[in-house]
Chain A
Amino acid sequence: MKFSIKRTAFVNSLNIVSRAISSKTTIPILTGLKIVATKDGLILTGSNADISIETRIKASNADNKLAIASTGSIVLPARFFSSIVKKLPQDTMTLDVTDNFQTRITSGSSSFDINGLDPTNYPHLPEIDSDDSITLSGDIFKEIIQQTVIAVSDQESRPILNGVHFVLSDNQLVAVATDSHRLSQRKVKIDDSDKSFDFIIPGDSLVELSRMIKEHQDIQMRISENQVLFTLDETSFYSRLLEGNYPDTSRLIPTTSSTTLQFEAPVLLSAIERASLLSHESRNNVVKFTLKPSQKIATISGNSPDVGKVEENLQPDSMDGEDLTISYNPDYMKDALRSFGKTMINISFTSPLRPFTLVPTEEKENFVQLITPVRTF
């Protein structure tokens, strides 16, 4: 196998695939990067136990300056290989596999010989035979991920909560995540789809995926029993699915409310950030809302016996309902507020010990953040 290629194009693809390669693995060959050269171009593959990424560099694209002298395949140690490629002196580089998987990388006057591994030992990527593919707008999917992944649990004792639960039915995709302290739910209309799916994608995989989605890029999603495949142009992203039954979250979201507040999300966010400055120092990470709609008073306070206390009068855009005092973990509130960006939101409370919700004032149905309060004594 021998080819030469424009280095920047190669580095770009290398960076994509490297996301899936970890230096710690029980199968040594997975620390490597698989390169396959065909007549049509190169296929780069990286994988760890959870995700696998495969990307193609087409010979037909003149920008790549890809010239394949002979086809074949090789697995190279990813850590060394990518740092070598990034440091090479010239714009183009040549890779030549000789006997015993010895690989020579040359660029200008520089030449490296590194030991490769037998590509036949590289695990096969999962096969997804399903033809049902759903096309999503990359922008929207990225948004879904960013809005839900904050609530994904990192609790290892309940692995099912480490993922985002997707349900596709009746032309609607619902994504839910909860770590049992808070919950995020996002609904999106999917046109031209009469299929129904129910699956859980690990939060970590989604974070990696969202970093790969470029602006205005459509993505195809295909589901098999325990794998999901996302196709983004030349790149395929495989992730394992979490197995098990996700708790039924539909009952958890309250439908009624006794007190409501309306806020500009960034305004409330900065107030919460101020109030949590002290609570973070404290043994008890809690801030308190005191709401008196009748007197148009809304205060947020934090108390840390070691350091001091903070109190701030809030200026909600509107406030209705009964008087209420409620405490909660400000970190959950901050995460939730950040996910709204610069929109107007409604916060609805039912009682000091019941979860409360945050929804945007527009499209209330489609996005909800739910937070459980802290019971204070």
Chain B
Amino acid sequence: MPKIHALSSVLADQIAAGEVVERPASVVKELVENSIDAKSSEIDITIQESGLQSIQVIDNGIGIEHDDVKNAFKRHATSKITDREDLFQVRSLGFRGEALPSIASVADVDIKTSTGGEGTNLHIKGGKLTDEEPSEARRGTDITVKDLFFNTPARLKYMKSPSTELSKITDIVYRLAIGHPKISFSLIHNRRELLRTSGRGDVQQVIGAIYGIQCVRKMIPFKGQNDDFKISGYVSLPELTRASRNYISVILNGRAINNQAISQAILHGYGSKLMVGRYPIAVINIHADPLLIDANVHPTKQDVRISKETELSNLISDNIYQVLSKQNLIPDALHRNHAVKPRYNNISQLNMNLNQVSDHYSRKTSSSDYHNDSSSVQLNSDQAIANDTNLKQSPISENYHLPKTVIIHSKSDLKQPDLNRFQSYFQNEHDVLPFDNEKSNQQNELNHNHANQSGRFPDLNYVGQIRNTYLIAEGSDGMYILDQHAAQERVNYEYYRQQIGQVSNDEQKLLVPIILDYSAADTFKINDRMEILNSVGINLEPFGKNSFIVRQHPTWFASGQEEDTIKEMIDWVLTRGKISVADFRAKTAIMMSCKRAIKAHQHLDSRQARSLIQHLKTCEDPFNCPHGRPVLVHFTTNDLQRMFKRIQDPHHSNSY
């Protein structure tokens, strides 16, 4: 008897299942992706006991023909691609033809499917067909997976706690829902609804359903594109952060992926606005030509190879930077979000009231949430003398955030006159002066540029200093408290960030040259990148096989650290492939700006304080110190009035 033989197909499927079906969440992912590929508009996921007992996915997609159903459970059987070319232009989420047979080989699967006519009901257990009968004619597929891993006890034993498995499932459903806002998802676990999205194509509504309405309000939209990629999404304001990267969702052509470079690009977009160890909530949808993407890396398809990844990263960073740099990022003193963990607790309740709430919100927002809005509203009523331009602008700026909250029910809604107005508003965004006051109105014509700047950063009138540390200032819309050290640190940083990169090309000669040894692999890379190194003043000469000799170094090197600095710069080039002196010395710039800033507990007279506030206003990014701490906080006039009970607290929770 021959020792080598082909494995039975069930056994082969079980082996494949080891990779494809890692845990209940993988089953959910595969089934939901199938439903999405089947052009469903509604997908209901019902789970029992974190998916170990049963997972049921019901969709209203195209269904499977009676004759095809059995084939669908054969290995490498798929309707999604047909030939070799298709493999390189995959437009569907699945294509390997592995998921269904793999799942069926390790579980008890019951599938009812119909393309509109008479349906088929198959029952497969452990890879063996046990039952086949006709079923009802509802178009779509209803697939139930029970007793997962019943025949692979080893895998079953390694399941984590039910709550961990559940969180993996919710995580994957969340990401898929974000990637497909046009599909209505519902996720029910043990009869408790965890997620319901409307399927109206509004990503923001989906985010609201997932992270809560509180978070949505602190997230801002961005979009951009270049020749190859189209990106859109939402990022949280720097004041809303989380302690882990898990809240960054990257969706590439509808597929939830993990990509270090893209996450990094998002963080880069924030620059110094994030505190150390804090990460934003971000949702980003990327559309790219399937040719640029290779999803065929791993059976789970979570790792994706992207051609032109650097361009994509730059596109993302630039767009996020752009959108954040336009924002007024002053945290509201009373409404600051101290939460470290997301507010999932009453999400189901939120979901039920979501439509109600979002209506509510769109009405409310203009008056109380965004202070720049409230200012213009108040100005409107207070200043009857406001001139013509102001009157024209104010209603528009009042609607500033409406595009985020307006719900479009159908395509025809897109043609609403309102929408056109929002669009035109966004195109003319820079002309709006949310912080208009009499003074800037007068200056408006004289100094257009200056007024532009004031749109982001309020005109502050210095009032006084507290504890020789904090400056109180008054703006048109309430009170501001500034941290004098953080403020000057920011001012200095913007200066040194530039300065530090502008070093001279002069080179100090060395009497005793420095010899650097590298591994053979690094030596090749260094030789490749010699030009980059030369451009920052590091001239390496080959010295023996794997060594380099340095005979001179740039004069800006700190004395005593020449060798370490050169090594560090070479490592920098090896890991990042590029270097600029300014980037390399960014930490030094931060340190210098901190050291040379006035400290807390230093008395400032009003002239000094005023000048500091003036300087801060001209900063590119005046809201955080280079370490990410806030520079100033804001109390709206409403807040102040409420604190002194001049107006009553409205009867609602802390949502506004």
Contact = CB atoms under 8 A, between A and B. Distances in A.
Interface of A: 153-158, 161, 178-183, 247, 252, 283-286, 327, 329, 353, 355, 370, 372-377
B521 interface: no
B509 A155 contact: no
Given A155-B560, A377-B506, A284 B511 contact: no
Contacts of A355: 509, 511
Contacts of B507: 374-375
Contacts of A375: 506-509, 552
B560 A181 contact: no
A65 B240 CA distance: 75
Given A153-B560, A155-B560, A374 B512 contact: no
B385 interface: no
Interface of B: 499-500, 502-514, 552, 555-556, 559-564
Contact of A370 (B502, B511, B561): B511
A302 B208 CA distance: 62
B501 to A, nearest CB: 10
Which 9 A-B pairs have CB atoms at the shortest separation, nearest pair first?
A: A284-B504, A372-B509, A377-B505, A375-B507, A180-B512, A154-B560, A157-B563, A155-B560, A376-B506
A373 B509 CA distance: 6
Given A153-B560, A157-B564, A283 B511 contact: no
Contacts of A155: 559-563
Contacts of B500: 283
Contact of A374 (B503, B506, B562): B506
A357 to B, nearest CB: 12
A284 B556 CA distance: 6
A181 B510 contact: yes
A374 B560 contact: no
B492 to A, nearest CB: 14
B504 A181 contact: no
Given A355-B509, A372-B511, A375-B509, A283 B502 contact: yes
Contacts of B512: 161, 178, 180, 247, 252
Contacts, number: 76
Q: Which among A181, A182, A327 has the highest number of chain B CB atoms within 10 Å?
A: A181
A203 to B, nearest CB: 12
Contacts of B505: 376-377
A221 to B, nearest CB: 27
Given A153-B560, A157-B564, A286-B506, A178 B555 contact: no
Given A181-B511, A374-B506, A376-B505, 15 more contacts: A155-B561, A155-B562, A178-B511, A179-B560, A181-B508, A252-B512, A284-B503, A284-B504, A284-B556, A286-B555, A372-B508, A372-B511, A374-B508, A377-B505, A377-B506
A179 B509 CA distance: 12
B579 to A, nearest CB: 18
A68 B260 CA distance: 76
B510 A283 contact: no
A175 B276 CA distance: 50
B429 to A, nearest CB: 36
Nearest to B562: A155
14 contacts: A155-B561, A155-B562, A155-B563, A161-B512, A178-B511, A180-B513, A181-B509, A283-B503, A286-B504, A286-B555, A353-B509, A372-B508, A375-B507, A375-B508
Contacts of A374: 506-509, 555
A281 to B, nearest CB: 12
A266 B559 CA distance: 25
Contacts of B556: 283-284
Contacts of B508: 181, 329, 372, 374-375
B115 to A, nearest CB: 73
Contacts of A153: 560
A323 to B, nearest CB: 20
B52 to A, nearest CB: 55
A180 B511 contact: yes
Q: Which among B502, B508, B552, B556 has the highest number of chain A CB atoms within 10 Å?
A: B508
Given A155-B560, A155-B561, A156-B560, A285 B509 contact: no
Contacts of B561: 155
Q: Which among B502, B507, B556 has the highest number of chain A CB atoms within 10 Å?
A: B507
A329 B511 contact: no
A247 B514 CA distance: 12
A285 B555 contact: yes
Given A153-B560, A329-B555, A372 B510 contact: yes
B503 to A, nearest CB: 5
Contacts of B555: 284-286, 329, 374
A183 B511 contact: yes
A182 B500 CA distance: 26
Nearest to A158: B563
A376 to B, nearest CB: 5
Nearest to A372: B509
Nearest to A327: B506
Contacts of B563: 155, 157-158
Nearest to B556: A283
Contacts of A284: 503-504, 506, 555-556
A373 B552 CA distance: 10
Contacts of B513: 180
A372 B512 CA distance: 10
A336 B560 CA distance: 18
Nearest to A328: B508
A155 B560 CA distance: 4
A157 B503 CA distance: 24
Contacts of A329: 508, 555
A179 to B, nearest CB: 8
B580 to A, nearest CB: 15
A280 to B, nearest CB: 12
B473 to A, nearest CB: 30
Contacts of B562: 155, 180
Contacts of A161: 512
A181 B514 CA distance: 11
A252 B563 CA distance: 20
Nearest to A376: B506
A350 to B, nearest CB: 12
A153 B561 CA distance: 10
Contacts of B509: 181, 353, 355, 372-375
Contacts of A286: 504, 506, 555
Nearest to B509: A372
A115 B562 CA distance: 46
Contacts of B510: 180-181, 372
Given A283-B499, A283-B503, A284-B504, A182 B511 contact: yes
Q: Which among B500, B506, B513, B564 has the highest number of chain A CB atoms within 10 Å?
A: B506
A284 B502 CA distance: 10
Contacts of A285: 555
A158 B563 CA distance: 9
A4 to B, nearest CB: 48
B229 to A, nearest CB: 39
A179 B508 CA distance: 12
Contacts of B499: 283
A345 B70 CA distance: 100
Contacts of A377: 504-506
A161 B556 CA distance: 21
Contacts of A180: 510-514, 562
A140 B561 CA distance: 33
Nearest to B502: A283
Contacts of B506: 284, 286, 327, 374-377
A183 B500 CA distance: 30
Contacts of B560: 153-156, 179
Contacts of A283: 499-500, 502-504, 556
Contact of A252 (B511, B559, B564): B511
A161 B563 CA distance: 13
A154 B511 contact: no
Contacts of A183: 511
A182 B507 CA distance: 14
